[in-house]
A and B are shown apart, each in its own frame.
Chain A
Amino acid sequence: MPQLNPEFFVSQLFWLAVFFTFLFVFLWRVSLPRIATVLEKRQNKIDENLSSAKELQEQAMEIEKKINDQINKAKVETDEKIKETINALQEDVSSQLSSLDKDLEKKVSDAEKEILKSKDDQMKNINNEIANITKLTVGKITDIEMSDNEINKVIEIHKGSFN
């Protein structure tokens, strides 16, 4: 077996040491740092992109929050305005209603007064008529001349009975 022939052992070991040492030093100092740089650069890039994506997401969330806030604010404002308008309208309506009520009351009371007045007038007329009729009747039946005062007194006494 040529492997066990010690003739070239020293040569094998010598060149192995030379080439392996060269390979080791070259890879250690040149190749591997290069690959490591590339990998690191890529990782940094990925991290950077990830962090910027996160930032953008946060910004988007902030904007969304702002929009929601504004929508809510607008809602509250509109609600207030609607309430205000409703209140104003209600006040308007109630004031108009109350003024109408007052008018009506006034008219009713006026009418009542007029009715009372006309009733009084009528009563006065009736009283006068009664007094006249009584005077005439008494005058016709008897000869007694009754003064107006006397007749009125009597009528006053009996007023309750013909009301």
Chain B
Amino acid sequence: MAAKDSPLKQFEIDPISNIELGGYNISFTNSSFAMLITVLVITLFLTLTVNTRSIIPSRMQLISELMYNFIAQLLSDTVGDNGKRYFPFVFSLFMFVLIGNMVGMIPYQFTFTSHIIVTFALAAVVFIGVTILGFINHGIKFFTFFYIPGVPFYMHPLLIPIEVISYLSRPISLSVRLFANMLAGHTLLKVFAGFVVSMPFFTGVFPLAFIVALTGLEILIAFLQAYVFAILTCLYINDAYHLH
């Protein structure tokens, strides 16, 4: 447990209600609460704004449609026509990470994307899904994914292990990228927030101004990381269809 004023204290998980199932602790925590808020925001927003189903959209409906088109475009650009059936999954993933990041930007609100176990679980779902998809599409030939054509034969003993390692590290890089960005951003904000309090007289205004600027940057990163997560998922799906 970190000290009371540690910048890492914000990442601590507090159970709201203790639940146990089959000997496992599945307490509903502040992290679960943030997930609940995230899911509620997404489902309510996407449902209520499109409720009227008007041909000429209201501003709110337009936001939903823009998000829809944004991910649809992303998927068709990277995967093509094959990607349509994965649209609901990629869209859910993008929205979950994006709104999860955004909910985390609310002061005193927990950021579940700053937990490696959460991001790793999401990345693992993508990784396992894509690997299964690759074997469904190509069967045993999927292993030729690690074989790079057009390279001198004596390079293969070196390149194939590299390819295998890079493939296996995909879920790690995918999850650590998101986790580290969120962790670093929120820690930085907390550190500067500490400066605001600890600095003498009115000099605390300067770190405060810095926090305001950093908050803008963090919102940008929140979007950017959700986008990166979605686009990498699209690229991995594409790899499952098109080998080298």
Which residues in A have some Cβ–Cβ distance to B below 8 Å? 1-5, 7-17, 19-20, 22-24, 26-28, 30-32, 34-39, 41-42, 45
Residues of A with C-beta under 8 A to B35: 15-16, 19-20
Q: Which residues of A contact B13 (CB under 8 A)?
A: 2, 5, 7-8, 11-12
Name which residue of chain A comes closest to B11, CB basis.
Answer: A2
Q: Which residues of A contact B144 (CB under 8 A)?
A: none
In the complex, the answer to whether A23 meets B117 with C-beta atoms within 8 Å is no
Give 8 closest A-B pairs by Cβ, nearest first. Answer: A28-B88, A15-B32, A31-B46, A19-B35, A24-B92, A14-B26, A2-B12, A2-B11
Q: Which residues of A contact B114 (CB under 8 A)?
A: 3
Size class of the contact patch on chain B: 35 or more
Please classify the interface of chain A as helix (H, G, I), strand (E, B), loop, or mixed, using the class held by over half of its residues: helix
In angstroms, Cα B42 to Cα A31, docked, is 10
Asked whether B65 is an interface residue with its Cβ less than 8 Å from the other chain, the reply is yes
Q: What are the residues of chain B within 8 A of A45 when measuring CB–CB?
A: 55
| In contact, A38 and B32 (Cβ under 8 angstroms) | no
Q: Are B26 and A10 in contact (CB under 8 A)?
A: yes
Chain B residues within 8 Å of A41, by CB: 53, 55
B25 x A8 contact (CB < 8 A):
yes
Do the beta carbons of B50 and A34 come within 8 Å of each other?
A: yes
Cβ < 8 Å to A, chain B residues 31-45: 31-32, 35-36, 38-39, 42-43
Chain A residues with Cβ under 8 A from B11's Cβ?
Answer: 1-3
A-B contact pairs, 8 of them (CB 8 A): A2-B1, A10-B25, A11-B31, A12-B13, A28-B88, A32-B46, A38-B53, A38-B55
| Contact between A23 and B42, CB atoms less than 8 A apart | yes
For window 68-87 of B, CB contacts with A under 8 Å fall at: 68-69, 87
User: In the bound complex, what is the Cα–Cα distance between A15 and B25 (angstroms)?
Assistant: 11
CB distance from A23 to the nearest CB of B (A): 5
B103-139 at interface with A (beta carbon < 8 Å): 112, 114-118, 121-122
A11/B68 contact (C-beta < 8 A), A27-B95, A38-B57 known: no
When the two chains form their complex, are residues B27 and A39 in contact, meaning their CB atoms are under 8 A apart? no
Shortest distance in angstroms between B210's beta carbon and chain A's nearest beta carbon? 24
Query: A4-B116, A8-B27, A13-B121 in contact; A35/B65 too (CB < 8 A)?
Result: yes
Given contacts A8-B29, A11-B25, 16 further A-B contacts (CB under 8 A): A3-B115, A3-B116, A8-B15, A11-B15, A11-B31, A12-B13, A12-B32, A12-B117, A12-B121, A27-B46, A30-B43, A31-B46, A32-B87, A34-B53, A38-B55, A38-B65
Task: Find out whether the CB atom of A27 lies under 8 angstroms from the CB atom of B121.
Answer: no
Task: Report the minimal beta-carbon distance from A31 to chain B, rounded to whole angstroms.
Answer: 4
Complex: chain B residue closest to A39, CB-CB: B65
Question: Quick check: B26 and A15 within 8 Å, CB to CB?
Answer: yes
**Does B92 lie within 8 Å of A3, measured CB to CB?**
no
- Indicate if the CB atoms of A19 and B118 lie closer than 8 Å: no
**How long is the Cα–Cα vector from A60 to B118 in the complex, in angstroms?**
64
| Residues of A close to B38: CB separation below 8 A | 19
CB atoms of B115 and A15 under 8 A apart: no
A interface footprint on B13-33 (CB within 8 Å = 1, 0 otherwise): 101000101001111110110
* Chain B: minimal CB distance from A16 (Å): 6
Do A32 and B117 touch (CB < 8 A)?
Answer: no
Contact of A24 (CB < 8 Å), options: B27, B32, B89: B89
Closest to A15 in B: B32
The residue in A3, A5, A37, A45 that gathers the most chain B C-beta atoms within 10 A of its C-beta is: A3
Given contacts A19-B36, A22-B39, A23-B39, contact A35 B92 (CB under 8 A): no
- Known contacts being A23-B42, A42-B55, is A15 close to B28, with CB within 8 Å? yes
